[in-house]
């Protein structure tokens, strides 16, 4: 990047540097504003609940540095059940990494609680009172799914990165995963993120099909398979972009 600047005239270099600094500052302000939002669900009240004929759940938000012990245990258990087979012999090390990630102050969560014999209006009132997950796990029911996401910067572009989308097997196939991804994309756009990104294990064919074929995510230019041609990796980085620049930088010229 610096070598290309040398061919510019003085004025061009100054203008370019000024624009780069202004853009960087703007992006950092966007991330700061997104991170400071305490409850992203407040902008989408209709997403507090998801109901089908055989499933009724309630959604709540939280942060990684305020997780209660029961929530940590639920998340760790669900991760192990869903992901151990995909990672194979790498799981023990990956599990340690994920445990550190889940309690980071940067981690943001959407928790999904199954409602059983509880009036959904009562659940909504609990959320309006600001009941935290640390204090109200039992009141909210059984945690059956969660999304761990973060607001971050990739290639100078503000993005919402989905670290985990995990559902208990018995609540899969009921449209809940799609519902959560729609919500995540709305949260991303509301907070001026220009893309949603995530990582998927190649061995997890169900997840790969869900994101690639059903949710229309594309392999990112940042994925190892795109950065180092011929290198065998066990995962892909996928993305869905919301504007031209993000598309050009994060999607590139992928045909499919």
How far is residue 6's CA from residue 12's CA, in Å, rounded to a whole number? Answer: 10
DSSP state letter for 178 = H
- 3-state SS, residue 141: coil
DSSP3 helix / strand / coil % (the chain, rounded to 5): 50, 25, 25
Contact (Cβ atoms closer than 8 angstroms) between residue 26 and residue 148: no
- pLDDT reported for residue 86: 86
Q: For the chain, what percent of residues have pLDDT higher than 90?
A: 71
How deeply is 156 buried, as exposed, middle or buried, from its count of CB atoms within 10 A (0-12, 13-18, 19+)?
A: exposed
Q: Is the pLDDT of residue 121 over 90?
A: no
- 3-state SS, residue 58: strand
How far is residue 13's CA from residue 19's CA, in Å, rounded to a whole number? Answer: 10
Angle, CA of 227, 229 and 233, to the nearest 5° = 80
Interval 158-216: pLDDT, tens: 999 999 999 999 999 999 999 999 999 999 999 999 999 999 999 899 999 999 999 99
End-to-end CA distance of the chain: 29
Residue 124: pLDDT band by 50, 70, 90 thresholds? low
Q: Of 184, 182, 147, 160, nearest to 246 (Cα)?
A: 160
Contact (Cβ atoms closer than 8 angstroms) between residue 175 and residue 198: no
Q: Which residues contact 40 (CB under 8 A, 6 or more apart)?
A: 61, 108, 110, 187, 190, 191
Q: For the chain, what percent of residues have pLDDT higher than 70?
A: 82
Q: How far is CA 50 from the centre of its chain?
A: 19
- pLDDT reported for residue 213: 96
Q: Of 110, 3, 134, nearest to 57 (Cα)?
A: 110
How far is residue 126's CA from residue 113's CA, in Å, rounded to a whole number? Answer: 13
Q: Is the pLDDT of residue 123 over 70?
A: no
Residue 139: pLDDT band by 50, 70, 90 thresholds? low
DSSP state letter for 229 = T
Handedness of CA 61, 65, 71, 74 (dihedral sign): positive
Interval 34-64: pLDDT, tens: 999 989 999 999 999 999 998 999 999 999 9
Residue 128: pLDDT band by 50, 70, 90 thresholds? low
Residue owning tokens 């503000």: 158
How far is residue 221's CA from residue 227's CA, in Å, rounded to a whole number? Answer: 7
- pLDDT reported for residue 11: 41
Residue 122: pLDDT band by 50, 70, 90 thresholds? low
Q: Of 140, 207, 179, nearest to 52 (Cα)?
A: 179
């Amino acid at each position: 990047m610096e070598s290309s600047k040398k061919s510019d005239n003085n004025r061009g270099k100054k203008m370019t540097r000024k624009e780069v600094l202004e853009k960087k500052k703007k992006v950092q302000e966007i991330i700061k504003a997104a991170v400071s939002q305490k409850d992203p669900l407040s902008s989408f009240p209709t997403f507090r609940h998801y109901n089908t004929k055989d499933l009724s759940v309630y959604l709540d938000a939280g942060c990684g540095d305020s997780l209660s012990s029961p929530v940590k245990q639920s998340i760790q258990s669900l991760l192990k059940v869903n992901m151990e087979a995909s990672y194979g012999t790498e799981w023990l090390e990956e599990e340690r990494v994920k445990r550190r990630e889940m309690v980071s102050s940067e981690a943001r969560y959407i928790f999904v609680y199954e409602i059983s014999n509880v009036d959904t209006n009562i659940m909504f009132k609990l959320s309006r009172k600001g009941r935290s997950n640390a204090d109200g796990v039992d009141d909210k029911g059984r945690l059956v799914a969660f999304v761990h996401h973060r607001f971050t910067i990739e290639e100078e572009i503000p993005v919402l990165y989905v670290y985990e989308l995990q559902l208990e097997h018995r609540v899969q196939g009921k449209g809940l995963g799609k519902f959560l991804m729609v919500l995540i994309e709305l949260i991303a756009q509301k907070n001026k993120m220009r893309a949603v990104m995530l990582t998927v294990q190649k061995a997890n064919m169900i997840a790969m099909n869900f994101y690639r074929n059903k949710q229309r995510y594309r392999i990112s230019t940042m994925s190892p398979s795109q950065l180092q041609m011929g290198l065998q990796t066990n995962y892909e980085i996928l993305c869905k972009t919301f504007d031209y620049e993000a598309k050009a930088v994060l999607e590139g010229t992928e045909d499919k």
